[in-house]
Structure 1
Amino acid sequence: MLKEHAKLMGAFAACGEITGRKKLQKMIYIAKKISFPFQEKFEFHFYGPYSEELTLRVEELCNMGFIDEIREKKGGYYQYRYTLTEEGEAFLKHAEVDMPQLKETVTKMNSQSARFLELVSTVLYFDSLAREEVAEKIFTLKRKQRYTEEEINEAYAYIEQLKKQIN
């Protein structure tokens, strides 16, 4: 029944802590795009791919006591930190979640900045387009982020690294 919840909990367990809602959204989207079986549907939003389903699932996990959400005031905004609770760990031990290499993949992503993961997820969102068209979309849709051609190339290289890691 809670199979999709358990998959998400696997990501939290692997990372220990995930800081930021945007980062969490991008990590799950990237993992899904490179072949992990996350089922959440994503649409393009202000900060790249976003899933209302994922937001609701995380809220449910918090309400069930499986995930701890800590809200911290950082300057003019709030930042959220997520960790798996003892109850979550106990539940996860009984859940049948088989995602080899998830730990290595999400841990690697968690070490990146939310800004970079936003770029990587945007590149993956438009992966049916030619590379030049993807760059054009990024320069238009993400104008305020001021991504460079070099950063876009780094994003493509990073995607290839992640794919190689799981194959």
Structure 2
Amino acid sequence: MLENIFALRDVISMCGGKIRGRKKIQKIIYILQELSDPPLKPYQFKWNYYGVYSEELANDLSVGESFGILKENEEEEYGYRTYIIEAVDSSNPTRLCRDQNLKSIVQYLSQQETRVLEVLSSIIFFKNEGLDGEELKGKLHTFKGHLAAFFDQAFAAYDELFQILH
């Protein structure tokens, strides 16, 4: 159980030591899990209003905070509550930190806007459901139409990730 929490800590460390937003870490972990083979127990993700979501991941983040491995701070931003998740202790890194390809992907994802990651993770989810082309775009417009301004960026990010991976 703690192995995944230490891996989460290392992912957060690769993002500069903190990630702004619970939604963002959910999307980063989902994308990592689906596009690469990170050395951690896979999380079960389900479709949610905000896209893919894992209750197991949310629980591991909470346990990580309880053990003092992670820390979560609440901030008000534009009238909304945002959570900053920090890696408290980066000693004894997992093998995740030795994977330069994975590190490149994590750093690339951490630089993306959360809404781009929301669309990107939705693209991956729908592709995994067997959708492609116009069918996939139609599904995106149905479920993520409010984020249409980010569709092009998300498709570009998808292509960029495949260049990093191959």
1:51: Cα distance to partner?
0.5
Report how far residue 75 of structure 1 moved: 3.8
Is 1:73 the counterpart of 2:76? The answer is yes
User: Which letter maps to 2:116?
Assistant: F
State how 1:101-116 maps to structure 2 within 5 Å: 101-116=101-116
Task: Identify the residue that residue 29 of structure 1 maps to in structure 2.
Answer: 30
State the TM-score, normalized to the length of structure 1.
0.87
Q: CA RMSD in A?
A: 1.8
Match of 2:48 in 1: 45
Cα offset, 1:107, TM superposition: 1.4
Identity percentage over the alignment? 31
> Would the aligned equivalents of 2:52 and 2:122 in 1 still touch at CA under 8 Å?
yes
SS in 2 for 1:112: coil
| Aligned length, in residue pairs | 160
1:67-122, CA deviations, whole angstroms, 9 ceiling, x for partnerless residues? 1111112243210111111xx312x33x4445442222111111111111100000
Q: Output the CA distance in 2 between the equivalents of 1:101 and 1:34.
A: 12
Contact 2:116 2:151 in 1 (8 A): no
Which amino acid counterpart does residue 90 of structure 2 have in structure 1? E
Determine the structure 2 residue equivalent to 1:159.
158
Determine the C-alpha separation between the residues in 2 that align with 1:79 and 1:18.
Answer: 10
| Contact kept? 2:27, 2:117, Cα under 8 Å | yes
- Secondary structure of 2:83's aligned partner: strand
The residue identity in structure 2 corresponding to 1:132 is E
Deviation at 1:30, TM superposition (A): 0.9
Amino acid at match of 1:138: L
Paired amino acid for 2:77: K
SS in 1 for 2:103: helix
Measured in 2, the distance between the counterparts of 1:161 and 1:36 equals: 17
In structure 2, the gaps of 5 or more residues are: none
- Is the partner of 2:61 in helix, strand or coil? helix
1:131 offset after TM fit, Å?
A: 1.7
Tell me the residue number matched to 1:56. Answer: 59
Conserved? CA contact 1:69–1:80, under 8 Å: yes
TM-score, normalization: structure 2? Answer: 0.87
Give the 3 Å change call, closer, same or farther, for CA 122–63 of structure 1 in structure 2: same
Residues 40-81 of structure 1: per-residue CA shift (max 9 Å, x gap): 110010111101011000111111001111111224321011
Structure 1's consecutive aligned runs of 4 or more residues displaced over 4 angstroms after TM superposition are none
The 2-side partners of 1:5 and 1:146 are apart by 31
CA contact (8 A) 1:36 1:99 kept: no
